[in-house]
Copies of this chain bind each other. A is one copy, B any other.
Amino acid sequence: MPTTLAEVARLVGGEVVGDGSTPITGVAGLREAVRGELTFLSNPKYEKYVRETSASAIIVGREFAGREAPNGVALLVADDPYEAMAIAMSAFAPEGDSLGPGVHETAVVSDGARIGDRASVGAHVVVGDGAIIGDGTAIHAGSYVGRDCTIGRDVVLYPRVTVRHGSVLGDRVVVHSGTVIGSDGFGFADAGHANTKVPQIGNVVIEDDVEIGSNVCIDRATLGSTRICRGSKIDNLVQVGHNVVVGEGSILVAQVGIAGSTKIGTGVVLGGQAGLVGHIEIGDGAMVGAQAGVTKSIPAGERVSGYPARRHATAKRLYALVENLPGLAKRLRELEARLRGLEEKANNAGDPPERREA
């Protein structure tokens, strides 16, 4: 862990403006930081807080380089202050839940399983027959890796993850606690009547560099594979149905639900609590708003929201119109009154003069 600003600067690749020997004991937000801490400014809209911060040093971008440092606060000028802060945060991170190397004495590992070099298997872990655990992979306490699973290198399964039989995880996959990978897809014929179970004999494939949050469910395919492609990130409590494919680098925010066989493109963002029906396709780079209910396929690059989900611009216009319904109803009532007035006038105009004077 670095102890001075100069050491942090060396680590993150930036230059100190001010006193490099300033002691740094941790990192914090601009408004929360106290003396001895390092903070950062990445969003110009928070620049006003720079003058108020109690931090000892601030990571700033190049555009800030010529500016005067606030009284007694040193600057660390970096090309990308956000990235610099991320590196500094990692350097000052408290020690997390870690595992010693090797297999814990309380773990139950099948003789038919293969555990890679430098891999760690924690307390009360179960590893099934035929499972392969890659080099450097850490399987934390209470996790379960079923029969014939293949787990790549440098994977982390945090405590109490369940990976059911035949699942395949690539390299550097991270799975948080309580998540279940490879439970049966929800397939019942004649729903609401006989509810006959359709066997679910496929598996789940999680490609490299995917991170999955807590208490997520990813069901195995009926036939073939449910697949989460390289670099996608899944937040907590998300439901991924059988035979779903999530393309590369997509983002699924918390509590999203995707019904069976839907295909998500690359670089898609699904907002929190959004729901997608089955058997549709979400084009590359599409964005689905929080809580949206997607009932049909979405072209690449489109942004949708609401229920049923429509183009976001349309949805916003419709919400504004709904908001204006009281005004619209009022205008309609006024029109009706004015029309009635005109009709009476017109009727009177057609009357013989003597009646008009009555």
Contacts and interface: CB of A to CB of B under 8 A. Distances in A.
Interface of A: 27-29, 32, 82-83, 86, 89-90, 92-98, 104, 106, 108, 122-124, 126, 128, 141-142, 144, 146-148, 158-160, 162, 164-166, 176-180, 183-184, 186, 188-189, 191-199, 201, 203, 211, 213-215, 217, 219, 222-224, 231-233, 235-237, 239, 241, 249-251, 253-255, 257, 259, 267-269, 272-273, 275, 277, 285, 287, 290-291, 293, 306-308, 310, 317-319, 321-326, 328-329, 331-332, 335-336, 338-339, 342-343, 345-346, 349
Given A142-B126, A335-B335, A32 B224 contact: yes
A277 B275 CA distance: 16
B331 A332 contact: yes
Contact of A183 (B162, B176, B335): B176
A106 B166 CA distance: 24
A98 B249 contact: no
Contact of A146 (B97, B104, B179, B323): B97
A233 B188 contact: yes
5 contacts: A89-B222, A94-B166, A192-B268, A215-B217, A254-B259
Nearest to A88: B199
A179 B178 CA distance: 8
Contacts of A273: 257, 273, 275, 293
B160 A164 contact: no
Interface of A is mostly: loop
Contact of A239 (B86, B144, B237, B338): B237
A265 B235 CA distance: 25
A93 B177 contact: no
B319 A308 contact: yes
B193 A32 contact: no
Contact of A189 (B86, B141, B231, B346): B86
A108 B99 CA distance: 13
A343 B332 contact: no
Given A180-B215, A257-B254, A195 B329 contact: no
A189 to B, nearest CB: 6
A147 to B, nearest CB: 5
A338 B329 contact: no
Nearest to A319: B308
Given A82-B189, A126-B142, 11 more contacts: A27-B223, A86-B189, A89-B222, A126-B159, A142-B142, A176-B184, A177-B180, A186-B253, A239-B255, A275-B290, A291-B293
A273 to B, nearest CB: 5
Nearest to A211: B197
A114 to B, nearest CB: 17
Nearest to A251: B191
A197 to B, nearest CB: 7
B275 A27 contact: no
A326 B233 CA distance: 38
A219 B192 contact: no
A195 B339 contact: no
Nearest to A90: B199
A49 to B, nearest CB: 14
Given A97-B128, A223-B27, A257-B272, A144 B165 contact: no
B268 A96 contact: no
